[in-house]
């Protein structure tokens, strides 16, 4: 068996790990974007619920959207680095599941707050 034939399965394994990492990163980034949008909606609902100044609501909305967008971008970059490092440490699945669990908890919390405001 030649050296080329011995490294072919290793290349496919590495390719599958990077493909899994990329799909997981896109999925967690999309979920993080959804969380950012939910935070914005909950923030506006809380603003209305506590009856703050209606004229300032547009400014608060735009300012918060910019800050949330920057936070999302930084979070996506950190998640990309963290998941890419997990490939060499053989911790890709535990890290992806941990990230998805944290995002799911945030999403459940946001929907819980929004549901509580409706009642």
Q: Check pLDDT > 70 for residue 6.
A: no
pLDDT for the residue 84: 92
Give Cβ neighbours of residue 60 (< 8 Å, ≥ 6 apart): 43, 47
pLDDT for the residue 49: 87
- Maximum pairwise Cα distance, the chain: 76
pLDDT (tens digit per residue) in 23-49: 999 999 999 999 999 999 999 888 888
pLDDT for the residue 96: 94
pLDDT (tens digit per residue) in 56-81: 888 889 999 999 999 999 999 999 99
Tokens for 24? 């997981």
- Give this prediction's pTM: 0.83
């Amino acid at each position: 068996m030649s050296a080329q034939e011995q490294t072919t399965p290793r290349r496919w394994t590495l390719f599958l790990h990077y493909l899994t990492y990329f799909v997981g990163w896109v999925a967690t980034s999309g979920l993080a974007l959804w969380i950012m949008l939910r935070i914005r909606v909950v923030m506006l609902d809380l603003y209305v619920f506590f009856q703050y100044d209606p004229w300032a609501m547009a400014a608060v909305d735009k300012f918060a959207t910019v800050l949330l967008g920057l936070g999302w971008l930084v979070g996506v970059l950190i998640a990309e680095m963290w998941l890419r490092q997990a490939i060499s440490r053989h911790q890709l699945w535990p890290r992806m599941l941990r990230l998805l669990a944290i995002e799911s908890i945030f999403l459940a919390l946001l929907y819980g707050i929004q549901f509580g405001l409706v009642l």
